[in-house]
Amino acid sequence: MEIKNVMVVGAGQMGGGIAQAFAEAGYNVKLNDIKQEFVDNRLEIISKGLQHQVEKGRLEQQEFEEIMTHLTPSVSYDDAADIDLVVEAATENEKIKLSIFKELDEVAPKEAILASNTSSISITKIAGATKRHTQVIGLHFFNPVHAMKLIELNIGLTTSQETIQVVQKVGESLDKTVIMAKDSAGFVVNRILIPMINEGICVLEEGIASAEQVDEAMRLGSNVPMGPLELADFIGLDVVLSIMQTLSANFGDTKYRPAPLLVKHVEAGMLGRKTGHGFYNYE
């Protein structure tokens, strides 16, 4: 199966990054969200970012124009009627994702592949919401998409070998390194990363060190580019909490218990960079 036409569902930061990556690789991309203003705003952000690259001499004007011609706005799942591959990048909420896949399954061509950018939710469960169990797979990008070279290919119990091969080829065509991961909560990266962030929050909560000291210790002591609390603010504390709750529910191990301080921050609406305040103040 040859993939030419792609729909990305969700015009947030991740969805926009994914749509841009596909457009830059020459795919025809429909960027979909529930409101026109969401899509228009994201396309404007993409355009400005590419124009900046032109001004810096990193991109030719003709290349910029070509990329933008590959991006089309969409506010209806009916637009998936001629799509080869759908990449869902909606909010990390199981109920919402299952509903999206159920609707897309009714509209997309029967041979189309439905992929999710989920960072923690079971691909097998998502596939169960459709009638095309063999054609559902996880295609997990990392933020920011343009800078992060990894894609996790998350394989559900029913995902066919053909689907795996097609989507692996697509991922590699985006100039990404693709790794395979069996369907397990958190897959590879977030199974390791998010509990590490959670433990950093516990260290802060217990008064062992300040936020600045926790992050500096990890940057200098383990050679990571961002400390756990900085990274939590960048990801979004609501997303971190959602993944921890998924890990806890799936494994039932106390080591996956969300830090109470993380829960309090989310309850207070202090979600990190996107709200201007998390473990650091960005206002």
Give the residue numbers annotated as catalytic, written as ranges.
Answer: 119, 140, 152, 190
| Amino acid (1-letter code) at residue 171 | G
Residue 108: closest CA among 119, 100, 117: 100
Q: Residue 124 and residue 137: Cα distance in Å, rounded?
A: 8
Lookup: tokens for 252: 């039932």
Q: Residue 90 and residue 227: Cα distance in Å, rounded?
A: 26
| Residue 37 · residue 136 · CB < 8 Å | no
| Residue 165 · residue 137 · CB < 8 Å | no
User: The sheet that has 150-155: what strands, in order across it?
Assistant: 71-74, 28-32, 5-9, 85-88, 113-116, 136-140, 150-155, 177-182
